[in-house]
């Protein structure tokens, strides 16, 4: 067993060795001199910020090697182009203007933050807001859920929780854990220490399995897929049926005033539980309303390579540049000896960030801490 | 008497000025591809090196580098400055996604057989010797044995990203990142170790 210090030393040595390797390798440290010109030739203003929101893969497909060897290959790169005095003068003027704009923006932002300090959350259109008086206000409706066309493949077929089950979960999330077949509180704490659960932007579903096989991993992937379907088309009761119980509690409590009664909690559950989840004050999923209709086609795609002990979970639209790829490792070797017959939980969480990007995190862990 | 400090004096540190400068460039580049050249110039080398480590072929690395910058340009609208992150972290997240696609399309099973890696000496100081002679092919091979999260952590480190930037790009907490980084390098170390030796 190596010491932490030795590990640190190795880390530095390895990084240095790779840097040295780049410096001493043929074409090891810099791209081809004319590469920028090639890139620039494929850039058009309409491809950038003002472009259509869904660029086709052709726009960004890697150019084949033959296209790299172009008449422009020997043209100087961007550095020389930005050294001319005229460019420099223009750049300095722009810099001065932008610094002024940034300073103004910072000042305004500061002023606005002062003015809105009571709210602390920027609500997207289509969400609802609980005010301190416990009156639920509906913000501008935005895209009505019913206005979005969903195919049957997005059906949420999960059996919904009842109001009583949700209420009980809010009062005591451990009961919800048991509902999922999770009997060991210590195992949950173990998982939290490993993965810093619960994260306010993550929801998880534990899939109990008794052996790690490709089919069971696929089951987990299918569950994640269903989770997504329910986020898109299910009711809150259905989404909560797939949600980490402590996050159900967090979601509901954070949507109620600090001073609340059990009646308030039950009223909230009964009001929002039967409704379409995206129509509710989905505070833990604040970004759903930002999703473009096209992104509802995003899907999970499980790629399972048991022999390598690797499982990839891909999120995205097939053959689209919208696709984001995140992977998880589900070690399949030595499982039996580690778990000693304990059930294994495949844990998958999905995060949607304010900018619309995605994260899928998956981990396997056990009914009790190993070793 | 209350005196308000005038706002016209901007006192910023060098890193802050660099950030302002970068945000200015990005704003400019959203509508002017030529302005994106400065961004390219600033980050082309580390992005290229990351691509080279992924592809092993300078021409393919050029292609991948071009893809990364074209995607970054097209997605500039998706970039929003955040206090806990940087443009560099965002750019390398774009690069990571491009490389994940590449790795996926070019997945090869790498068995770490004795014949594939030849560590030249088992005399005292094997770590220094092994590392001092490490080749691009060996770097690629050892990185390919890592899972993608660990590989991304190592790649981002090699690309000069800070711990905070890596955590932001990979959406990890700092403690989780450090833990994963330790495991990633431990795995590299294990793979580079001569059979029967401890690095």
pLDDT higher than threshold 60 for residue A15: yes
A:106-145 residues touching chain B, CB 8 A cutoff? 107
Does pLDDT of A185 surpass 90? no
On the question of pLDDT at A337 being above 70, the answer is no
For A109-149, the pLDDT digits (tens) are 333 333 322 221 111 222 222 222 222 222 222 333 343 45
A252 falls in which pLDDT band (50, 70, 90)? Answer: confident
Nearest to A224 by CA among A296, A315, A149: A315
Cβ <8 Å between B139 and A18: yes
Kindly indicate the confidence band of residue A312, based on its pLDDT and cuts at 50, 70 and 90.
very low
- So what's the pLDDT on residue B85? 75
- B148 interaction partners in chain A (CB closer than 8 Å): 312, 327
Is this complex's ipTM strictly greater than 0.85?
Answer: no
What does chain B come to in residues? 199
CA distance A272 to A19: 56
**Residue A268: predicted pLDDT:** 92
What is the Cα–Cα distance from A293 to B5, expressed in whole angstroms?
48
Taking residues A41-56, what's their average pLDDT? 48
Q: How many CA atoms lie within 13 A of B41 on its CB side?
A: 16
Higher-confidence residue: A25 or A14?
A14
Rounded alpha-carbon distances, angstroms, from residue A371 to A90, A184, A303, B179: 65, 16, 30, 19
C-alpha A169/C-alpha A180 separation (Å) is: 11
Beta bridge partners of A345: A208, A365
| Among A36, A48, A325, beta carbon nearest to B100 | A325
B71 at the A interface (CB within 8 A)? yes
Region A350-359: what's the mean pLDDT? 38
What is the pLDDT, as a whole number, of residue A271? 92
Residue A46: pLDDT band (50, 70, 90) is low
| φ, ψ for residue A2, nearest 5 deg | -85, 155
Cβ contacts of A45 on chain B, cutoff 8 Å: 31-33
Identify the residue with better confidence: A75 or B186.
B186
Number of cross-chain residue pairs from A and B with Cβ atoms under 8 Å apart? 192
CB interface of A with B, residues 195-224, below 8 Å: 195-196
pLDDT score recorded for residue A310: 34
Would you say residue A346 has pLDDT above 70?
A: no
Over range A153-178, report the average pLDDT.
80
Of residues A277 and A228, more confidence is placed in: A277
Q: What is the pLDDT of residue A77?
A: 30
For residue range A186-235, what is the model confidence (pLDDT) as tens digits? 233 323 333 333 332 233 333 333 333 444 445 555 665 676 677 767 88
Q: A28 pLDDT band (50/70/90 cuts)?
A: confident
Q: How close B123 gets to chain A, by Cα (Å)? A: 17
Q: What's the token pair of residue B143? A: 């990185």
- Inter-residue contact A166 to A173 (CB < 8 Å): no
- Classify strands A310-316 and A324-328 as parallel, antiparallel or unpaired: antiparallel
Interchain proximity A59–B70, CB inside 8 Å: yes
**Is the predicted pLDDT of residue A319 greater than 50, yes or no?**
no
From B70, B128, B148, residue closest to A43, measured CB to CB: B70
Are A155 and A166 in contact by the 8 Å Cβ rule? The answer is no
* Closest Cβ opposite residue B158 in set A15, A60, A329: A15
Q: What's the pLDDT score for residue B103?
A: 64
Whole-number pLDDT of residue A49: 39
**pLDDT value for A266:** 94
Please tell me if residue B48 touches chain A, with a CB cutoff of 8 Å.
yes
Q: How confident is the model at residue B151, as a pLDDT? A: 84
Residue B199 and residue A58: Cα distance in Å, rounded? Answer: 47
Number of H helices, E strands in chain B: 9, 0
C-alpha separations of A271 from A143, A170, A252, A264 in Å: 20, 15, 12, 10
Rounded CA-CA distance A203/A347 in Å is 10
- Measured in degrees and rounded to the nearest 5, phi and psi for residue B33 equal -55, -30
Classified as helix, coil or strand, A344 is strand
Look at residue A7 in the predicted model and tell me its pLDDT: 67
pLDDT recorded at residue A273: 93
Q: Are B70 and A61 in contact (CB under 8 A)?
A: no
Q: What pLDDT score was predicted for residue B96?
A: 82
**Mean pLDDT over all residues of chain A?**
50
Contact B7 A195 (CB under 8 A): no
Hey, is the C-beta of B135 within 8 angstroms of any chain A C-beta? yes
Q: What angle, rounded to 10 degrees, do the helices at A163-171 and A262-272 form?
A: 140
Q: Hey, is the C-beta of B16 within 8 angstroms of any chain A C-beta?
A: no
Q: Which residues of A362-371 are buried (b: 16+ CB within 10 A; e: fewer)?
A: bbbbbbeeee
Asked which of A77-91, A281-295, B23-37, B183-197 is least confident by mean pLDDT, the reply is A77-91
Whether residue B177 contacts residue B166, with contact meaning beta carbons closer than 8 Å, is answered with: yes
pLDDT by position in tens, chain B (length 199): 333 333 333 454 555 555 557 777 888 888 888 888 888 998 999 999 999 888 888 888 998 999 899 988 888 887 877 777 788 888 888 888 777 667 655 543 322 222 222 233 333 355 656 666 678 888 888 887 777 778 888 999 898 888 888 888 887 777 778 878 888 888 888 887 754 434 4
Residues A204 and A365: their CA atoms lie apart, in Å, by 13
Q: What does residue A274 show for φ and ψ, rounded to 5 degrees?
A: -80, -10
Most B-contacting residue of A25, A26, A31 (CB-CB within 10 A), to test interface: A31
What pLDDT is stored for residue B46 in this prediction? Answer: 92
Instruction: Identify which of A142-146, A279-283, A335-339, B145-149 has the greatest average pLDDT.
Output: B145-149
Please compute the mean of the pLDDT values over residues A19-47 and round it to a whole number. Answer: 80
Query: Which of A255-259, A265-269, B97-101 has the highest average model confidence (pLDDT)?
Result: A265-269
| Residue of B22, B34, B37, B178 to mutate, interface with A, max A Cβ within 10 Å | B37
């Amino acid at each position: 067993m190596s010491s932490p210090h030795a590990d640190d030393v190795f880390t530095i040595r390895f990084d240095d060795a790779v840097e040295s390797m780049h410096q001493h390798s043929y074409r090891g440290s810099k791209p081809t001199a004319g590469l920028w010109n090639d890139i620039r030739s494929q850039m058009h203003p309409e491809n950038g910020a003002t472009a259509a929101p869904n660029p086709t893969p052709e726009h960004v497909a890697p150019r084949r090697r033959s296209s790299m060897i172009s008449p422009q290959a020997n043209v100087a790169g961007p550095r020389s182009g930005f050294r001319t005095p005229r460019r420099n003068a223009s750049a300095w003027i722009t810099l001065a203007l932008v610094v002024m704009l940034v300073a103004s923006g910072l000042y305004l932002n500061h002023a606005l933050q002062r003015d809105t300090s009571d709210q602390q959350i920027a609500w997207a259109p289509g969400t609802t807001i609980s005010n301190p008086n416990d009156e639920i206000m509906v913000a501008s409706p935005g895209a009505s859920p019913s206005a979005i066309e969903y195919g049957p493949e997005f059906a949420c077929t999960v059996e919904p929780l009842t109001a009583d089950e949700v209420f009980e979960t809010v009062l005591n999330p451990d009961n919800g854990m048991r509902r999922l077949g999770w009997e060991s509180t210590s195992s949950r704490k173990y998982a939290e220490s490993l993965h810093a659960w619960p994260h306010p932007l993550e929801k998880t579903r534990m899939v109990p399995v008794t052996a790690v096989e490709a089919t069971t991993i696929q089951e987990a992937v299918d569950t994640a897929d269903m989770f997504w379907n329910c986020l898109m088309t299910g009711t809150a009761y259905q989404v909560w049926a797939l949600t980490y119980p402590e996050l159900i509690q967090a979601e509901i409590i954070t949507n109620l005033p600090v001073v609340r009664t059990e009646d308030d909690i039950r009223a909230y559950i009964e009001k929002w539980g039967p409704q379409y989840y995206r129509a509710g004050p989905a505070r833990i999923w604040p970004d759903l309303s930002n999703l473009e209709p096209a992104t509802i086609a995003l899907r999970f795609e499980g790629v399972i390579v048991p022999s390598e002990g690797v499982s990839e979970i891909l999120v995205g639209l097939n053959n689209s540049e919208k696709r984001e790829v995140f992977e998880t490792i589900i070690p399949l070797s030595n499982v039996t000896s580690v778990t000693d017959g304990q059930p294994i939980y495949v844990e998958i969480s999905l995060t949607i960030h304010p900018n619309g990007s995605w994260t899928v995190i998956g981990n396997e862990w056990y009914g009790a801490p190993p070793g | 008497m209350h005196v308000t400090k005038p706002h016209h004096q901007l006192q910023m540190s060098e890193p802050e000025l660099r950030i302002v400068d970068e945000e200015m460039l990005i704003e400019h580049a959203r509508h002017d591809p030529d302005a994106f050249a400065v961004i390219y110039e600033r980050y082309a080398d580390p992005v290229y090196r990351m691509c080279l480590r992924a592809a092993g072929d300078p021409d393919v690395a050029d292609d991948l580098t071009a893809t990364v910058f074209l995607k970054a340009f097209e997605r500039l609208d998706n970039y929003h400055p955040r206090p806990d992150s940087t443009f560099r972290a965002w750019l390398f997240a774009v690069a990571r996604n491009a490389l994940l696609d590449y790795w996926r399309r070019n997945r090869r099973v790498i068995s770490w057989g004795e014949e594939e890696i030849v560590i030249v000496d088992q005399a005292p100081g094997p770590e220094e010797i092994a590392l001092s002679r490490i080749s691009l092919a060996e770097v690629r091979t050892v990185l390919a044995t890592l899972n993608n999260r660990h590989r991304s952590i190592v790649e981002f480190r090699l690309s000069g990203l800070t711990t905070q930037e890596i955590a932001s790009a990979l959406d990890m907490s700092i403690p989780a990142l450090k833990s994963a980084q330790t495991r990633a390098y431990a795995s590299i170390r294990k793979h580079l170790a001569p059979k029967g030796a401890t690095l």
